[in-house]
Amino acid sequence: MAKAKKVVKAEAARSAVGKKSPRKQSPRKEAAPRESSSAYFARIRPKFLDWNPPTEDELRREAEKRQEDRDVELKKVTALEKAKLAEKKSGKKKASGR
């Protein structure tokens, strides 16, 4: 019995060679409005191709911002250092867990 099933399957496989398998019909999507080829290629164009170097004005503003950030950090560090020195001069030590 098992041998007969194998023979039937083999014959079915041989007869199926060359025949197209039935495809499932997928529901059709609604037609999207067609865009022109120039609009399509403009949409997919990589953005780095349109890069422009920063202007002198932009470079100057970035440099000023970095300088301001450095000044703020320096003020913060010097304030902490002054607080440490004042604490040392007053003779107070931080409480240690010993």
Predicted local confidence at residue 21, as pLDDT = 61
> What whole-number distance in Å separates Cα of residue 88 and Cα of residue 82?
10
pTM above 0.85, yes or no: no
The Cα 9–Cα 16 span in angstroms is 10
How far is CA 57 from its chain centroid? 29
pLDDT of residue 86: 92
* Run of H or E including 22: none
Using one digit for the tens of pLDDT, what is the confidence trace for 40-81?
999 999 999 999 999 999 999 999 999 999 999 999 999 999
